[in-house]
Amino acid sequence: MKNTKPLNSEVATLADVAQIACVSTATVSRCLNNPVQVSDKTRQRVMKAVTTLNYSPNFGARALAAKRTNTYGAIIPTMENAIFARGLQAFEQVLVSRGATMLVASSSYDPQIEEDQIRTLIARGADGLLLIGRDREPAVYRFLRERNVPFVIAWTSATAPETSHVGFDNLAASRALAARAIGLGHRQIGFISAGLNFNDRARDRVEGVRLAMRDHGLDSNCMPIIETRYSIACGRAAMAAIMTDHPETTLVMCGNDVLAVGAVQGAHLLGLRVPDDVSITGFDDIELATIIRPALTTVHVPHHTMGTMAAETLLEMVREGATARQIVLETSIVERESLSAPGMKPLSRPA
């Protein structure tokens, strides 16, 4: 029986506001989306009606009509990690401050899951996407372009000029840290890395060390590399493996701080002192790095800034049609306690 107006049924609609303010729905819509088009007098009347009715636009209707949702998707490998959490928090805060909201999905470092999540978030109407790293099936990039969804790639530096990047040069940072260690006298270097597959950041960090070795005339092919999952326990196990197979190792570089913390623990379990018996380095400079003893010498990554700038870049692409932009942030080596010149080893180490 309800046909004209539901009076005071559920929640207020544009039409309700229009009726109260004695204007058309078009005018109300304009007041909300493009206030300059409306005269002061009517706008005040409309806004008053909006507040008295406690009106809030229906999201679905708006998305349908405007083809924009004002939501942005972020797909990160995992949330259980201080690195991504910080960047994400910064990303979200910029979004909120600009009236947008954030959709989050995690991929567990699985490219297939990531692809699904990308499709899901786009289907959910995300206006733009934050992606981590550049390794991705070509089909995924094709899909992104064909749907015309702006996206920015973070945590890594640019390769393709037509896509936006806000990140840092993993390879150069790693190379610099390795060069520093080599300068200190290290020759037998081992590496503990996260999975290299579909993870350009991890690969770049390994490659940086290799290049540094070559730079100094060392043979990088003999560097033992352990590839493992991303956890402290795995770092511990990897450390044991490296030191067992290559007891001559004086430095173990790790692809990130979490693995490095595990490596430190592993060294201690083996009866090795850090850095006296073996040096260890990390990457990321998360809080953990300052807590463990010895504190980690590592690469500082400006996570917060990266999240902030990624959000700003994405917003400009979506809202102002800005073209792709590449931002490379500076990293720095933070020298703490876990790296020193290679020392003398005891003649016989504990089993």
Partner DNA sequence: TTGTACGCGTTATCAA
Partner DNA sequence: TTGATAACGCGTACAA
Note the residues at the interface with DNA (CB under 7 A): 3, 10, 13-15, 22-27, 29-30, 32-34, 37-39, 41-43, 55, 57-58, 60-62, 64-66
Task: Report the SS3 class of residue 122.
Answer: helix
By CB under 8 A, tell whether 323 contacts its own copies.
no
By CB under 8 A, tell whether 58 contacts its own copies.
yes
Q: How far is the CB of 59 from its own copies (least distance, A)?
A: 4
Q: Looking at beta carbons only, is 262 or 342 nearer to its own copies?
A: 262
Of 346, 344, 336, the C-alpha closest to 180 is: 336
Tell me how far apart the terminal alpha carbons of the chain are, to the nearest angstrom. 86
Q: How far is the CB of 8 from DNA (least distance, A)?
A: 13
For residues 342 and 351, give the distance between their C-alpha atoms in angstroms, rounded to a whole number: 21
Of 18, 36, 66, the C-alpha closest to 27 is: 18
**Binding partner of residue 42 among DNA, its own copies, none, CB under 5 to 8 Å per kind?**
DNA
Length of the chain: 351
By CB under 8 A, tell whether 269 contacts its own copies.
no
Q: Which residue has the tokens 């993993």?
A: 170
**Binding partner of residue 26 among DNA, its own copies, none, CB under 5 to 8 Å per kind?**
DNA
φ and ψ at residue 116, rounded to 5 degrees: -60, -45
**Binding partner of residue 244 among its own copies, DNA, none, CB under 5 to 8 Å per kind?**
none
Task: Evaluate whether 346 touches 273 at the Cβ level (below 8 Å).
Answer: no
Q: Looking at beta carbons only, is 29 or 71 nearer to its own copies?
A: 71
Kindly report the number of other CB atoms within 10 A of residue 338's CB atom.
28
Q: How far is the CB of 152 from its own copies (least distance, A)?
A: 18
Q: Looking at beta carbons only, is 83 or 299 nearer to its own copies?
A: 83
| Largest CA-CA distance found in the chain, in angstroms, rounded | 94
Q: How far is the CB of 212 from its own copies (least distance, A)?
A: 29
For residues 158 and 204, give the distance between their C-alpha atoms in angstroms, rounded to a whole number: 13
For residues 273 and 321, give the distance between their C-alpha atoms in angstroms, rounded to a whole number: 55
Q: Looking at beta carbons only, is 113 or 333 nearer to its own copies?
A: 113
Q: How far is the CB of 216 from DNA (least distance, A)?
A: 59
For residues 131 and 320, give the distance between their C-alpha atoms in angstroms, rounded to a whole number: 20
> 5 Cβ partners below 8 Å, 6+ apart?
15, 16, 19
Q: Looking at beta carbons only, is 14 or 296 nearer to DNA?
A: 14
Q: Looking at beta carbons only, is 18 or 232 nearer to its own copies?
A: 232
**Binding partner of residue 86 among DNA, its own copies, none, CB under 5 to 8 Å per kind?**
its own copies
Q: How far is the CB of 124 from its own copies (least distance, A)?
A: 5
**Binding partner of residue 155 among its own copies, DNA, none, CB under 5 to 8 Å per kind?**
none
**Binding partner of residue 119 among its own copies, DNA, none, CB under 5 to 8 Å per kind?**
its own copies
By CB under 8 A, tell whether 22 contacts its own copies.
no
Q: How far is the CB of 101 from its own copies (least distance, A)?
A: 6
Task: Evaluate whether 112 touches 120 at the Cβ level (below 8 Å).
Answer: no
For residues 144 and 162, give the distance between their C-alpha atoms in angstroms, rounded to a whole number: 13
DSSP 215: H
Query: 77 to 116, contacts with its own copies by CB under 8 A?
Result: 78-82, 85-86, 88-89, 92-93, 96, 101-106
> How buried is residue 153: exposed, middle or buried, by Cβ count under 10 Å (0-12/13-18/19+)?
buried
Q: Near its own copies by CB under 8 A, which window of 73-81, 176-184, 192-200, 325-333?
A: 73-81
